């Protein structure tokens, strides 16, 4: 068993330490059983955090093992078979982004397009915010924007650029020339908790409804969606850590469709949950891998998803069925490693931001 389990744990504590993936892995079953028996025999694993006497150990060992495996079954999520589909028609556009001489991307965490089909890249290099035209011509880099660690990026209907600073715990609204207009969150670098109205803990992305209300996925530490009006005033939030409907385990991205249903990437629970604008649960999609990034296509009325664990892009209809896929693990152009976020332009071309390959790749639909 992992070193993290080597210290004394109560049974509830042990179950809490197991990730959903570990609980679901049948290959671990015998290993877990042997480990539990050994720890009980030594008086290290307990029911309530207190050491068991030798007499109590003999009397309660079988009972405890039974309770352990019952709890393991109860807390194990249903692991759906990974769905697949036919290859997408998109073709790689080689060497798309034309960076200035001597410049490089860092880890690319986010990518988005604006109404002119210009492409915005948010990355962890020396120039965190970069803009390109659709052909990859470099347009600008913002010279003065303080970011602790880039994550999500979106452009709203007014053309403003929104940046999510995951380690700074803030969301920044700026003009297309980089003038900061609004900052949501506490002081940069100061986290809030899951009930905070004006602070985040490692937020990840941002989306907007047709009225201009702001929705933020929050995030790596908190486990919720938080809604503000267009002026940045708190309205409501929903969600907590867990595996049930309306609960999250790493809220990683979110976006709306034309009917203003909100799709939320529940990354570590390996599903997409669907809500109305007030947080009412409408449904969920499973078996689509681990959703890291979401991009809705109004033209096709479908969803494109970065499945980061499986290093692929999947195209889903609005019933959650896979109707196309692209990619696969690799370092060469056309392959993916930690496909973190994606965007579409008006022609249906795909832009994919990768963490480990330090790049944004373009895949043309034409």
**Could you tell me if 50 and 181 lie in one domain?**
no
**Could you tell me if 124 and 28 lie in one domain?**
no
Give 206-227 pLDDT, tens digit per residue: 999 999 999 999 999 999 999 9
**Could you tell me if 105 and 165 lie in one domain?**
yes
**Could you tell me if 263 and 347 lie in one domain?**
yes
Domain residues for 165? 91-364
**Could you tell me if 244 and 284 lie in one domain?**
yes
Q: Identify whether 84 is part of a domain.
A: no
Query: Whole-model pTM?
Result: 0.81
Contact assessment for residue 353 and residue 105, using Cβ atoms and an 8 Å cutoff: no
Q: Identify whether 286 is part of a domain.
A: yes
For residue 332, the SS3 value is coil
Q: Identify whether 333 is part of a domain.
A: yes
The CA distance from 122 to 105, in Å, is 9
**Could you tell me if 98 and 243 lie in one domain?**
yes
Count structural domains, the chain.
2
**Checking phi first, is residue 240 left (phi over 0); if not, alpha (psi -120 to 50) or beta?**
beta
**Could you tell me if 193 and 325 lie in one domain?**
yes
**Could you tell me if 158 and 306 lie in one domain?**
yes
Find the angle CA(24)-CA(29)-CA(34) to the nearest 5 degrees. Answer: 150
pLDDT at 96: 96
Q: What is the DSSP letter of 339?
A: E
Q: What percent of the chain has pLDDT over 70?
A: 78
Give 265-310 pLDDT, tens digit per residue: 999 999 999 999 999 999 999 999 999 999 999 999 999 999 999 9
Confidence of residue 54 (pLDDT cuts 50, 70, 90): low
**Could you tell me if 30 and 167 lie in one domain?**
no
Among candidate residues 74, 109, 134, the one where a domain is terminated: 74
Contact assessment for residue 351 and residue 79, using Cβ atoms and an 8 Å cutoff: no
- 353, 210, 238, 122 alpha-carbon torsion, rounded to 10°: 20
**Could you tell me if 10 and 126 lie in one domain?**
no
Provide the CATH number for the domain around residue 135: 2.120.10.30
Among candidate residues 41, 74, 107, the one where a domain is terminated: 74
Q: Identify whether 85 is part of a domain.
A: no
């Amino acid at each position: 068993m992992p070193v993290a389990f080597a210290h004394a744990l109560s049974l509830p504590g042990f179950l809490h330490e197991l990730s959903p993936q570990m609980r679901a892995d049948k290959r671990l079953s015998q290993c877990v059983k042997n480990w539990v028996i050994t720890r009980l025999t030594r008086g290290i694993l307990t029911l309530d955090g207190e050491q068991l006497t030798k007499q109590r150990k003999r009397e309660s060992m079988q009972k405890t093992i039974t309770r352990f495996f019952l709890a393991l079954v109860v807390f194990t999520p249903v692991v759906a078979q990974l769905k697949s589909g036919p290859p997408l028609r998109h073709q790689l556009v080689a060497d798309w982004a034309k960076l200035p001489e001597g410049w490089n991307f860092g880890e690319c965490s986010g990518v988005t397009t604006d109404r002119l089909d210009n492409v915005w890249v948010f990355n962890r290099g020396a120039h965190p915010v970069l803009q390109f035209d659709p052909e990859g011509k470099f347009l600008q880099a913002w010279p003065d924007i303080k970011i602790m660690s880039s994550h999500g990026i979106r452009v709203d209907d007014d053309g403003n650029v929104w940046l999510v600073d995951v380690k700074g715990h803030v969301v920044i609204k700026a003009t297309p020339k980089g003038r900061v207009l609004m900052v949501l969150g506490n002081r940069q670098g100061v986290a809030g908790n899951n009930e905070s109205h004006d602070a985040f803990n490692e937020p990840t992305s941002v989306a907007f409804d047709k009225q201009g209300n702001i929705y933020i996925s929050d995030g790596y530490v908190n486990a919720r969606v938080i809604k503000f009006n267009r002026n940045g005033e708190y309205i409501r939030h929903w969600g907590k850590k867990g595996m049930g409907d309306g609960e999250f385990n790493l809220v990683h991205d979110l976006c709306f469709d034309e009917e203003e249903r909100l799709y939320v990437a529940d990354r570590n629970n390996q599903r997409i949950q669907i809500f109305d604008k007030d947080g009412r649960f409408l449904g969920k999609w499973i078996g689509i891998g681990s959703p890291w990034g979401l991009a809705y296509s109004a033209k096709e009325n479908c969803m494109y998803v970065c499945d980061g664990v499986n290093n692929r892009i999947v195209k889903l209809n609005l019933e959650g069925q896979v109707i196309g896929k692209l990619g696969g693990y690799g370092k060469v152009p056309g392959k993916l490693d930690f496909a973190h976020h994606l965007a579409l332009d008006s022609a249906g071309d795909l832009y994919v931001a990768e963490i480990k390959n330090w790049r944004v790749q373009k895949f043309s639909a034409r």
